[in-house]
Amino acid sequence: MKLEKNLIVIIISVFILGIVSTLIFQASTGNTKAHSIKSENVAPVSKDDVVEKEKNKKMVVDFYNEVFNKHNIDIIPKYVSEDYKQHNPFVADGRKAFMDFFKQDFVKNPNSSAEIKRVVAEGDTVALHVHSRANSQDKGVAIMDVFRIKNGKIVEHWDVIQEIPNEAANDNTMF
């Protein structure tokens, strides 16, 4: 039994020594290509890309605050294209359909509000993580809204809406 344990220790030691020797050899010869990210696989980021992302983020945040906090339906044409494509199954495609839907919703929920928790932009897409409430007593819902931007306007939208439960299986918040 003792011999078997010693043999296992020797085998593991030789294995570890082999790995360490390989790493030392690669480091000393500069041969680390197998474990590094090749620069040709990483897309370059230009200053214009960064500026465009920041511009898109600001536009979507301004839109969200105007529409979902101030309930300013009349400002929607400034931000949303006429041929707006909607992926929420309860709202029809088109800017007019979007305006009509929320005009009715704000009549039913005059004290609704939306607190933006996170904003992320990548390429022509802006995502918001939002805590939306029908009124100040409402626990609300967690929303992930994803907008596609083209020529400075919102042209497409996806969302996922999750109710905030009375009790959670963990101590983490949804925000």
Whether residue 10 is found in the same domain as residue 53: no
pTM, to two decimals: 0.73
The domain of 132 spans 47-163
User: Does residue 123 lie in a domain region?
Assistant: yes
Whether residue 96 is found in the same domain as residue 147: yes
> Which CATH number covers residue 146?
3.10.450.50
Give the angle subtended at the CA of 161 by the CAs of 159 and 148, to the nearest 5°: 15
CA distance 149 to 53: 10
How many residues would you count in the chain? 175
User: Does residue 106 lie in a domain region?
Assistant: yes
Residue at token pair 């993580």: 129
Distances (CA, A) of 130 to 33, 134, 143, 159, 175: 42, 13, 5, 11, 8
Question: In a structure prediction context, what are the per-residue pLDDT tens digits for the chain, which is 175 residues long?
Answer: 555 555 455 555 545 555 545 555 555 555 555 555 565 666 667 777 889 999 999 999 999 999 999 999 999 999 999 999 999 999 999 999 999 999 999 999 999 999 999 999 999 999 999 999 999 999 999 999 999 999 999 999 999 999 999 999 999 999 9
Whether residue 66 is found in the same domain as residue 140: yes
Whether residue 58 is found in the same domain as residue 142: yes
Number of domains forming the structure of the chain: 2
